[in-house]
Structures are given as C-alpha cells and as structure tokens.
C-alpha cells in the first residue's frame, strides 16, 4: 500500500471536525489505529459510533482525538484529493485508444489514461481490470463496491492481449468470476474494431459474458472512434452500413434469447449503430432502464421520450423567438425532428440546428462531446444565430466552461456576437431552452470525468 498523505483541504462549518478545531493543512494519519488507503477505507471506518483518530497538525503536533457520534454521521472533512489517493494510470496500450489519437499541445489532463477501479464505482468509468491486484479485488468485495464497469472488448485471451498490448490482459475472466461469486453487480462494454473483434469473435464474447448473468447486468457495444491523428498507430477501418446491419442482427438475436430466460435484454448497441444502419431506435423497454446512457446507449430514444412528455404538459402559444442549436453531426437529424415537434405547439419559434463538422479530430468523429470551440466559431461565424446559441452540456469540461481545445464559452460569445446557453441533460431542458427567453444560463457540463479515452471512444451524445 502506498503511503499517500491525506491532507485536509476544507473543514465544513458546524461539523464535528470544526468542533475539534481541525484545520486545512492538517493530515489524517489513522482511524481506530488503522491506516487509510483511500476514500473507501475512510468512509467505511468513520461509520463507527466511537472513533479514535490520529491527526498530524500543520505544526507537526500529533493530536489523538476520541469521538462519539451517530453511526452514519460524517466528520465534515474534505481532502485535497477526493479519492484520497493517486489516480492509477493505465498499463495498456490499446490499439483503439482515443487518447493516442489526440493532437499535441492540448491540456495535460487529456493525455492521462486512467484504469482505476475506484473511479469505476465513483464516476462510472470503465476499467480493463489489468491494473487490479488480488488486494484490489478483495477490497471491492469487502466494501461491496458496485456497480463495477468493465471494458471487456473480447473474451478471447490471446486476442485481448493483442488488442490491449498487454500480456496479462487475457486473464480477465478469472477476476470477473471472483466478483460474480461475491455477488458484485457489473456492467460491461465492447469497443468494436472492424475485422478484429467483430463477427465470430463478437459472438464468442457475448456468449461468454452471458454466463455471468444476472450480476453482469448489461454489455454495450460501441464502434471504435477514429480520429485523423493516427499516424504510426494500428490501422483501423471505419464501419459501413452493411457492417452495422450485421452487428444489429446479431445483438437482436442475443437479446431475444437472453430476455426469455432473465427478463433482461443484456447486450445493447450504442445509438451510432442504428444511425449507420439507417434503422429506427429501439423501443424504450429494450434498454432495461437505460443502464448505459454514458456510453451512448439509448440517449436519443430517451431524449425523444422526454421531449414528448414535456410537450404534453405545455399548452403552446404564439410566442416568437429565434435561436440556433449547435451539435455534432450524429444527433443533428434527431434534434431537427424534436424541434419540429416543439414548433407544432409553438409555431412562432424559429430554431435552426447546425451540425458541426469535426475538422479538429476529423470528419469520422461525429458526436457532440468531441466538438471543439474553434470548429463552432469557424463554421458559425457570420451566420444569423438569433437571440442565442444553444449547445449541449457535454461539449464542456467537467464543472467549467471550457471546450476540449481550451476555447471558453465567453470566447464563443465574443467571436460569434451571441449569447450561449448550455443545455443540461433531459428533454425538458431542451424544450425550455428553445422556447423560454428567460432560460437559466449555465456554463457547465454534466459528465464528471474529463477523459475522452477508449472507455467511451467519443460515443456519449448528451443531446
């Protein structure tokens, strides 16, 4: 176990920690004599009603404090690292990794590859399990951390080693078996690469993973993201319409088979497959409660449902308003359809959807989450955008107003001479952003982890 220092960043007012005169800069050493590895140890140990905590003050004095409290009462401490440990970087060199396809000169955090099982629980990130030791597995089981999101890609051991460029990557199922035996809920994903893990290999993978039902709740299949920055990397071919039809056919057969036994559809295709194949999105009940929205599975179907439900509760009126909407090319036709539904109740609304071509990463990248500020400016400069420009929340960096290329919302407002409204997730948010002049301005993004790596491959399409 690494000796990570747990430095207090902030003490909440009216908390136990404030009463004990703990301060920013103090260090937590142990709880009830046990050292703290990370945030999970901390929350597990402080659930006791009687605590002895050892604190190293910033002046190097040691304070041993005895605390009596309610079982689930928090101490009111915030640490410098929310994980209370260093983030674990990825030991793989996946042939499809999107981070390897990033251009130079971007902010440092975008080049960090994580493979941290704790982020899987806390933030929904997908992990390959290659970085996990027996100790890590035991802690997941001990604290019953669930769900754990796993990047499988294939269950063929030799092929998995090749795809992840890691000679230890083929041992994934032994670790999954331990989680299964302990009743740990899991979700899985497969980044599909043409001619590599599709076809018969995909059939094998789905068959193998179905054996971990019911604890493995879902498996999503997303197409590999291919940017224009692939010089020197493994050659990747884009999927065509015929390929998408084959993937959908296979997945639908598996869904029908598995649903009969488990009442779950289990394996799901991301929205891109249906768009590429020219097929309508599946009905809402096939998504099993939308277990994999962050992987772009069912986002457009859910958005349609939410738009329709929102409009049902509105009377409509002759108000007049002109706005513009910027999104990725993938979602643009669907947004046009949803806005046409809005116009039926509000015929005075003039809302134009602008499909932003991804010149930064390349035209094969079509999702809104990878649209850059510079592409928006270049393609909308000089256009009549109306009262405001609406953009989806996932274009922005977590908690900030910055695009992937470090262009800010304020810069876009200045360059395009228009107010920008960041639309939160949900159909109701879209409807009200289109029709309401007094809609709340919000420069933020929903997704809490910034990385655009192979775990998502740029597939998430937040409206």
* 231-271 per-position pLDDT tens digit: 888 899 999 999 999 999 999 999 999 999 999 999 999 99
289 lies in some domain: yes
Q: Identify whether residues 123 and 180 lie together within a single domain.
A: yes
Total number of domains constituting the chain = 3
pLDDT one-digit tens code per residue, 5-15: 888 899 999 99
Q: What is the DSSP string of 277-332?
A: HT-PPPPGGGGTTTTTGGGTSSHHHHHHHHHHHHHHT-------EEEEEEEETTTH
- Average pLDDT of span 416-439: 90
| Radius of gyration of the chain from its Cα atoms, rounded to whole angstroms | 24
- Average pLDDT of span 102-115: 63
pLDDT one-digit tens code per residue, 194-234: 999 999 999 999 999 999 999 999 999 999 988 888 888 88
Q: Identify whether residues 137 and 52 lie together within a single domain.
A: no
Q: Identify whether residues 307 and 283 lie together within a single domain.
A: no
Q: Show Cβ contacts of residue 366 under 8 Å, excluding neighbours closer than 6 positions.
A: 272, 328, 329, 330, 358
- Two tokens at 296? 């772009």
Mean of per-residue pLDDT scores for the chain? 86
230 or 108, greater pLDDT: 230
Q: Is the separation of the CB atoms in 101 and 234 below 8 Å?
A: no
Q: Identify whether residues 179 and 275 lie together within a single domain.
A: yes
Residues forming beta bridges with residue 6, ordered by sequence position: 28
Q: How far apart are CA 290 and CA 292, in angstroms?
A: 6
Task: Return phi, psi of residue 383, to 5°.
Answer: -85, 150
Closest CA to 76 of 45, 31, 34, 46: 46
Q: Identify whether residues 255 and 357 lie together within a single domain.
A: no
92 lies in some domain: no
From 174-188, 350-364, 392-406, the region with the lowest mean pLDDT: 392-406
DSSP state of 109: G
Q: Identify whether residues 36 and 124 lie together within a single domain.
A: no
**What pLDDT is recorded for position 83?**
55
**Which domain CATH number covers 274?**
3.80.30
Does position 114 have pLDDT exceeding 70, yes or no?
no
What is the three-class DSSP state of 402?
strand
283 lies in some domain: yes
Q: Identify whether residues 26 and 103 lie together within a single domain.
A: no
Q: How many Cβ atoms are within 10 Å of 381's Cβ, its own excluded? A: 11
440 lies in some domain: no
Q: Identify whether residues 373 and 428 lie together within a single domain.
A: yes
- Average pLDDT of span 123-148: 81
- Average pLDDT of span 421-430: 92
12 lies in some domain: yes
**Which domain CATH number covers 39?**
2.30.42.10
- Average pLDDT of span 133-156: 88
Q: Identify whether residues 136 and 196 lie together within a single domain.
A: yes
Residue 116: domain span: 99-296
**What pLDDT is recorded for position 242?**
97
358 lies in some domain: yes
186 lies in some domain: yes
Residue after which a domain boundary falls, among 268, 296, 324 = 296
- Average pLDDT of span 152-158: 97
**Which domain CATH number covers 364?**
3.40.50
Q: Identify whether residues 138 and 182 lie together within a single domain.
A: yes
| Alpha-carbon distances, residue 424 vs 103, 431, 442 (angstroms) | 28, 11, 8
117 lies in some domain: yes
Residues forming beta bridges with residue 351, ordered by sequence position: 323
- Prediction pTM value: 0.79
């Amino acid at each position: 176990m690494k000796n990570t220092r747990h430095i207090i960043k902030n003490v909440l007012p009216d908390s136990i920690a404030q009463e004990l005169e703990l301060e920013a800069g103090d260090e937590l050493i142990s709880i009830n004599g046990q050292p703290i590895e990370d945030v999970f140890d901390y929350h597990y140990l402080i659930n006791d009603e009687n605590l002895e905590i050892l604190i190293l003050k910033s002046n190097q004095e040691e304070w041993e404090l005895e605390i009596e409290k309610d079982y689930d009462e928090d101490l009111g401490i915030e640490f410098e690292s929310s994980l209370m440990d260093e983030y674990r970087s990825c030991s793989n060199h996946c042939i499809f990794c999107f981070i390897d396809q990033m251009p130079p000169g971007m902010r440092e955090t975008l080049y960090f590859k994580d493979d941290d099982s704790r982020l899987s629980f806390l933030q929904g990130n997908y992990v390959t399990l290659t970085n996990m030791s027996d100790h890590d597995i035991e802690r997941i089981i001990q604290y019953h951390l669930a769900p754990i999101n796993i990047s499988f890609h294939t269950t063929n051991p030799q092929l998995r080693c090749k795809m992840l460029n890691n000679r230890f990557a083929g041992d994934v199922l032994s670790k999954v078996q331990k989680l299964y035996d302990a009743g740990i809920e899991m979700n899985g994903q497969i980044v599909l690469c043409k001619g590599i893990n599709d076809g018969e290999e995909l059939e094998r993978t789905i068959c193998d993973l179905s054996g971990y039902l019911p604890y493995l709740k879902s498996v999503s299949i997303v197409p590999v993201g291919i940017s224009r920055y692939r010089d020197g990397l493994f050659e990747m071919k884009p999927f065509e319409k015929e390929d998408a039809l084959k993937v959908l056919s296979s997945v639908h057969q598996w869904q029908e088979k598995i649903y009969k036994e488990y009442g779950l559809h289990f394996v799901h295709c991301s929205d891109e497959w249906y768009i590429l194949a020219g097929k309508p999105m599946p009905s809402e009940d096939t998504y099993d409660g939308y277990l994999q929205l962050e992987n772009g599975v069912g986002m457009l179907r859910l958005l349609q449902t939410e738009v329709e439900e929102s409009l049902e509760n509105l009377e409509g009126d002759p108000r007049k308003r002109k706005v513009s909407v910027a999104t990725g090319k993938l979602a643009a036709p669907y947004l046009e359809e949803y806005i046409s539904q809005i116009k039926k109740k509000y015929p005075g609304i003039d809302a134009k959807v602008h499909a932003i071509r991804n010149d930064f990463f390349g035209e094969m990248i079509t999702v809104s989450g990878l649209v850059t500020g510079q592409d928006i400016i270049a393609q909308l400069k000089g256009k009549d955008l109306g009262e405001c420009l609406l953009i989806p929340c996932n274009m922005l960096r977590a908690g900030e107003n910055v695009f992937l290329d470090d262009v800010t919302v304020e810069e876009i407002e200045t360059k395009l001479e228009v107010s920008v409204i960041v639309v939160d997730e949900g159909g109701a948010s879209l409807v009200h952003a289109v029709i309401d002049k007094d809609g709340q301005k919000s420069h933020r993004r929903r997704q809490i982890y910034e990385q655009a790596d192979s775990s998502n491959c740029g597939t998430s399409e937040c409206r």
